[in-house]
Amino acid sequence: MNRKDEHVTLALEQAEHTKQNDFDQIQLIHHSLGSIDVEQVDISTQIGSIPLEIPFFINAMTGGSEWTKDINAKLGYVAKQTGIAIATGSMSAALKDDSLWDSFTVVRDVNPNGLVFANINPNISVEDAQIAIQKVQGKALQIHLNAAQEIVMSEGDRSFSHWRSNIKAHLQSHKVDVIVKEVGMGMSGQTIKELIDLDVKIIDISGRGGTNFVSIENARKGNSQMNYMANWGQSSVQSLLEALPYLSQVDIIASGGIRNALDMVKSFVLGAKAIGISGVILQSVMNQGVEATIQMIENWQQDLIKIMALLGARTILDLRKVDVVLSLELQHYLKSREINKY
């Protein structure tokens, strides 16, 4: 089976999104006297120069085969019908094999006016990235950092030392916003600071707690067996805590293990400006179908508004003022990492 097809098949088998994760370690304090009305809530946000009417989007997943072309057509249609942004999967394969382009460009074809983000790995040249952006008329370029995934893959990359200089070159060259993202292993404060120093304005911390690429790679036949690495990295919540000192310098996207509107609200409370969701949407599209997925996304939008009203937050930024209690485990994390908040 093609590697892209294997990734989707194995991601569909993962039950991570039905399990507890670190978002369950956060309690938002309920105040009984409501202070605002549902109709006063505004969920719009902005990442870099990109305004988003709806603050969550379909994060990077797939493309690169006939089956994933079909999936991208479905995901693109869901994005169009709900008005949310969508990222393609890594377009690196199509940059090597022209016949694969239509499995990515279908996202744009079915959604001519929507917000689409192109996605590449950090080895791709500036010129090739420009082709990728142009192919889907991308409003942003996502560059994914997946060192842990490469390390557990038998055929994975083994050299990473050029990533910083390549990211710098991208930042100096593109007209569109650049988003640097993880793929589910989360980020440290040090990584976030280094990216800010490179002039990155939007970071997706994509942490542990949802789709697990170490497990996916280990489940692929013939791959090295490093399943003991399945808990590698920081959870999405830990990564958001790591990002707290840097919120005035960079826009943070939360992704990794987002299951519902409450996880989104908790991410905004911890400083995120937008949310990316992959696994839950993929599973819904493939198991429940396109129409049910559109309904789920519309429900999330309404749920987000309702929970914000309950918390007295008119805007996404107001959520940062919400009273929150972290579990002892998360408090221990904050203390060990010397992060002074909460």
- Quote the CA–CA distance of 332 and 336 in Å, as a whole number: 6
Angle, vertex CA 342, rays to CA 46 and CA 327, nearest 5 = 105
Applying the rule CB under 6 A, the residues between 280 and 339 that interact with ligand FMN are: 280, 282
Least Cβ distance, residue 289 to ligand FMN (angstroms) = 18
Task: Give the residue from 188, 189, 181 showing the smallest Cα distance to 211.
Answer: 181
Q: Distance (Å, rounded) from C-alpha 125 to C-alpha 136? A: 17
Length of the chain: 342
Task: Compute the distance between CA of residue 182 and CA of residue 203 in angstroms, rounded to an integer.
Answer: 9
- With a CB cutoff of 8 Å and minimum separation 6, the contacts of 218 are 152, 224, 225, 226, 227, 229, 230
How far, in Å, CA of 246 to CA of 340, rounded? 12
Least CB distance from residue 52 to ligand FMN, whole Å?
17
**Contacting residue, 43, 47, 61, 265, with ligand FMN by CB under 6 A:** 61
Selected from 21, 45, 82, 119, the binder of ligand FMN by CB under 6 A is 119
Answer yes or no whether residue 153 interacts with ligand FMN by CB under 6 A: no
Which of 191, 255, 293, 301 forms a contact with ligand FMN (CB under 6 A)?
Answer: 255
Contact with ligand FMN (CB under 6 A) among 55, 89, 186, 271: 89
Torsion of CA 288, 293, 294, 297, to 10 degrees: 150
Q: Are 207 and 187 in contact (CB under 8 A)?
A: yes
By C-beta, is 264 or 311 nearer to ligand FMN?
A: 264
Q: Does 11 bind ligand FMN (CB under 6 A)?
A: yes
Closest residue to bound ligand FMN by CB: 210
Q: Find the part of the chain contacting ligand FMN (CB under 6 A) among 123-131, 165-173, 179-187, 267-275.
A: 179-187
170 binds ligand FMN (CB under 6 A): no
Of 44, 63, 77, nearest to 308 by C-alpha is 44
Calculate helix-pair angle for 3-13, 279-287, nearest 10 degrees: 90
Q: What is the 8-class DSSP label of residue 46?
A: E
Residues from 128 through 147 that contact ligand FMN (CB under 6 A): 142, 144
CB of 301 to ligand FMN, least distance (A): 17
Stretch that binds ligand FMN, among 99-107, 276-284, 285-293, 326-334 (CB under 6 A): 276-284
Q: Supply the minimum distance, in Å, between the C-beta of residue 161 and ligand FMN.
A: 20
Q: Which is nearer to ligand FMN, 256 or 313 (CB)?
A: 256
**Which of the stretches 151-159, 194-202, 277-285, 312-320 binds ligand FMN when contact is defined by CB under 6 A?**
277-285
Residue 250: which residues within 8 A CB-CB, separation 6 or more? 192, 195, 196, 200, 201, 202, 203, 243
Q: What DSSP designation does 288 have?
A: T
Select 62 or 267, whichever has its Cβ closest to ligand FMN.
62
User: Which residues lie near ligand FMN (CB under 6 A)?
Assistant: 7-8, 11, 59-62, 89-90, 119, 142, 144, 181, 183-184, 206, 210-211, 255-258, 277-280, 282
